[in-house]
Structure 1
């Protein structure tokens, strides 16, 4: 009866001490946390961490108070002590895991306040929790069996081959995660393309084993972390950091409409303000009509060049000047801007525009690109040019064979 009464009193004291400790710890440390108002204080004095530490107090009281219970057999004392120690280890391991979770939450809040793309520490948090849980499990089992943890660890060493096979993906993913983070190859918020796995969107989560990508159709693609190191992927972060998005698109000019400009056509095009510098550079265009090519223009000192300016060259100069004057075209360092003709093909003569917009937002980028090409397409007839159309080859430029004409 004395033993049973002592056990009941000990259990009641343990429960009462646990409740009192939790109330006191939460009250005191909350006040300290509000006074300090630092990130480390919020992490170390998180409510979940404090509650989990308070839950370890009853098992500690039982663990050390069981020695004072009268007439209790040694084997029961050892059993109760081992069970109480196991509970203490369990709650301490859970407290460490909650501490890691609090660190992850604080890191996430800090990233949101800065409103910038940041490195993800979720993989490290998960690895830390895995190590803590594994180590705690070994200690708990050793405590319940009343054996040294080294014996269990030596047995696990013999099972290393099996453990390597079971945790193969975890080990590979952890190494890949360290390399991705250390080399700054991937962040949460990066837009990546990985066609081989169907990923094209923004990274929303980087975990120990997987990386989640939200595609533009709002689907989620889950990629093993190690796959990002073994295979290639495209990261668009550099575009956002540079502040410019590239436009590289061609206009296919109908080759039949390309010709040398006549005097009347040059006079008509000279009224275009964007072409004034271009005409000034063409010294041959300022020569008198009866001057012969190869002579010197004494008013300017330039050599009079042959009159060989085509409407395509004039339009190319206009397109370049239009891009230079456009307010949404980025002209900073490294932002190339050019208009060039590519090799003629059976589909016309490509006139390629290469430039960068001063916005990286998709909708605005498409609007600027559409505005530029709508304007240039509308200006083609003024230069006597037309876009290539496959049906126009036969319907406009080539006569219909007599045998193909319908009979009247």
Structure 2
């Protein structure tokens, strides 16, 4: 419906009223009343019919796509129907209020504002539907789509507010935007978090720092769990204890955090733990200890081959056998380390294709650390901890068989026993 048709309809209405003998103020108010009621009824009918047409097309489809369902769920059709209503009001106002010059000015302002609000509402509904579709897509499921939606909405709201302000003040957009230059500092201060969050979201998306579904650890904020939502200003993390931590988006790009995604995508999860051996228990292996260790299946071949190599070396170098310090001899700590390696090699839950070693660390006041540095095939938290616990359960129980002792700081009962023996 164009402007000419509106003009023709209202001209015909006035002629009809005049033909029925209406004149003066009766004509004016009758024309206004009938015109207002007619436009209002036509407005509601148009909105209703427009909605039903769009909804009917969706419902009649045999196979409903995600797009159709999202547009229906977020009432996009209703939003765009309001735009038709806004068009009707804007074009009808000049003819309805033709006899009321004072009212006409305010009615025209109201109609323009309604057009702006209806358009903003329609764009907002379409953005909600678009984001809903993108979040269900594998391609965009791990992207911070909500952040971009929020930025788009802020821009729309700001532009809409400025446009409404220019309508009310009857000034151009350039004039209004020019006035905002004086409050730019205040604007930046008020929207500091959204601005920083938007920049952070762009950086996270560009270099793929964080995705929805990632396991991240941010110690400063006590976050350790799965990312469930990435917004413009915040990242929601559901911790493993089922609590929820909110982390500022800009903290991810400005501070230290740990993302476990690379581990989950790899072929194993690292086990890096150590056992502290009491240094005073470390010694050379004598014949009695070697004899006892030969009953351990993992060490049979190793002891036989190593013992032969040692005897050949000592014989070639005419080593004095009366002192074990002379020449080469096995130690209980070295034999235990070999045993740990062979035990881990036989464990089906350990990925031997990745970094695999049992090593000594720098001795400390807490003893000599023997570190297990291997990768578990099980990467889930529960299964991983079970694998690690089984390994150390076994190794801790095996330590005494090598005449070794595990270092442990004295407890209160140990100190009381020591004092008691001293008094005796």
TM-score (norm 1): 0.84
CA distance 1:401–1:26, shift in 2 (3 Å): closer
SS at match of 1:200: strand
For residues 197-212 of structure 1, the aligned pairs below 5 Å read 197-212=221-236
- Number of residue pairs aligned between Structure 1 and Structure 2: 384
Contact 1:43 1:99 in 2 (8 A): no
Q: Which residue of 2 aligns with 1:242?
A: 266
SS at match of 2:355: coil
Q: Which residue of 1 aligns with 2:107?
A: 80
CA distance 1:62–1:373, shift in 2 (3 Å): same
Asked whether 1:404 is paired with 2:422, we answer yes
CA distance 1:117–1:276, shift in 2 (3 Å): farther
Q: Which residue of 2 aligns with 1:165?
A: 189
TM-score (norm 2): 0.81
Q: Which has the larger radius of gyration?
A: 2
Determine which of 385, 388, 392 is the counterpart of 1:373: 392
Equivalent-residue separation in structure 2 for 1:213 and 1:331 (angstroms)? 33
Equivalent-residue separation in structure 2 for 1:327 and 1:348 (angstroms)? 30
Higher mean C-alpha deviation, range 19-28 or range 197-206: 197-206
For residues 233-272 of structure 1, the aligned pairs below 5 Å read 233-272=257-296
For residues 3-402 of structure 1, the aligned pairs below 5 Å read 3-31=32-60, 35=63, 37-40=64-67, 42-43=69-70, 47-69=74-96, 71-111=98-138, 118-279=142-303, 281-282=305-306, 284-285=308-309, 287=311, 292-294=315-317, 306-332=327-353, 335-391=354-410
Q: CA deviation at 1:316?
A: 0.6
Equivalent-residue separation in structure 1 for 2:185 and 2:367 (angstroms)? 64
| 1:117-164: CA deviation from partner (whole Å, max 9, x where unpaired) | 712211111000111111112222323444322221221223222222
Q: CA deviation at 1:71?
A: 4.8
Q: CA deviation at 1:267?
A: 3.4
Structure 1 unmatched runs, 5+: 296-304
| Greater helix proportion | 2
Contact 1:6 1:70 in 2 (8 A): no
CA distance 1:372–1:283, shift in 2 (3 Å): same
SS at match of 2:135: helix
Q: CA deviation at 1:315?
A: 1.1
CA distance 1:329–1:87, shift in 2 (3 Å): same
CA distance 1:67–1:237, shift in 2 (3 Å): same
CA distance 1:230–1:361, shift in 2 (3 Å): same
Q: Which residue of 1 aligns with 2:13?
A: none
CA distance 1:342–1:215, shift in 2 (3 Å): same
Contact 1:30 1:45 in 2 (8 A): no
Contact 2:350 2:376 in 1 (8 A): yes
Equivalent-residue separation in structure 1 for 2:370 and 2:97 (angstroms)? 99
Q: Which residue of 2 aligns with 1:298?
A: none
Contact 2:47 2:78 in 1 (8 A): no
Q: CA deviation at 1:47?
A: 4.9
| 1:339-392: CA deviation from partner (whole Å, max 9, x where unpaired) | 112233332222111111112211111111111111112222322222223449
CA distance 1:193–1:45, shift in 2 (3 Å): same
Equivalent-residue separation in structure 1 for 2:124 and 2:104 (angstroms)? 30
CA distance 1:128–1:281, shift in 2 (3 Å): farther
Q: Which residue of 1 aligns with 2:10?
A: none
Contact 2:279 2:368 in 1 (8 A): yes
Q: CA deviation at 1:50?
A: 0.8
Equivalent-residue separation in structure 1 for 2:277 and 2:111 (angstroms)? 85
| 1:312-337: CA deviation from partner (whole Å, max 9, x where unpaired) | 111110100111110111223xx211
SS at match of 1:159: helix
Equivalent-residue separation in structure 2 for 1:142 and 1:130 (angstroms)? 18
**Structure 1 runs, 4 residues or longer, greater than 4 Å off:** 37-47, 285-289, 400-403
Structure 2 unmatched runs, 5+: 1-29, 319-325
SS at match of 2:120: helix
Equivalent-residue separation in structure 1 for 2:382 and 2:120 (angstroms)? 49
Contact 2:82 2:118 in 1 (8 A): yes
